[in-house]
Amino acid sequence: MSDIERTYIWVTKWEDHQSYSIKRGKPWAPPWIKLYPRLLDDPDFMGLPAETRSLLVGIWALFARSRGTLTKDTRNLSRQLSQRVTERQLERLNHAGFIQFCSGTVREQLWNTFWNSSALEVEVDKEPPNPRRRGGTKPSQKTTPKPPSPTVDQTPDPELPPPEERHRLAAELRAQLLGAQATATAQAEAKRPTNGHEPDLLDAGYLAYLETIATEDE
């Protein structure tokens, strides 16, 4: 039987299932196709028996792998899909509008129309490499660019004295505060309250801070 005499299956709106740009110059089978969740809201799809819905998904996969040359051969379909395929199931899919039957000549016309469709010339997702394939590379991971680090102004503040002067002033202030603390302690000992409450003295933490500044870079 010649190709013209054979009856072929053509998937309706096949362009809606494409996820890759057409590779012109050679026959091309898409490595994967789109399957829309909106089918669950399609009464034509949900009205089909479960076995027929499963058959439709298998026909989509076979149609992609065969590059649109899928024949209406129930025995061959049953063998490839490992399930019993009947003429009645194919007729159901045809009446629901998911597939159509055509001759070899019409199939070639439909394929040429699909192949030259301007809607398929838009560059879309590229095929992800298969890391398990020999010689393949791992898929590249998308990384979010880091924001640029804020620049720190290294220009010295003209209002601040030089480091040596700051160290000297801190040492003098610390010595004055230590003297004041000694005087306050002596006065507190002379005038200790009868209730045992200690008078407020200078904060030791602040004195340690001044000592750090005074001894910095020594």
Q: What's the residue count for the chain?
A: 218
pLDDT, tens digit, 9 for 90 and up, residues 5-62: 689 999 998 888 876 655 554 556 778 888 999 999 999 999 999 999 999 999 999 9
Query: Who's near 12: CB < 8 A, 6+ residues apart?
Result: 97, 98, 99, 100
Q: Sorting pLDDT into bands at 50, 70 and 90, what band is 115?
A: confident
Share of the chain above pLDDT 90, in %: 33
Contact 9, 25 (CB under 8 A): no
pTM above 0.75, yes or no: no
For residue range 191-208, list pLDDT tens digits in order. 665 555 554 555 566 666
Q: Which of 96, 69, 94 is nearest to 80 (CA)?
A: 69
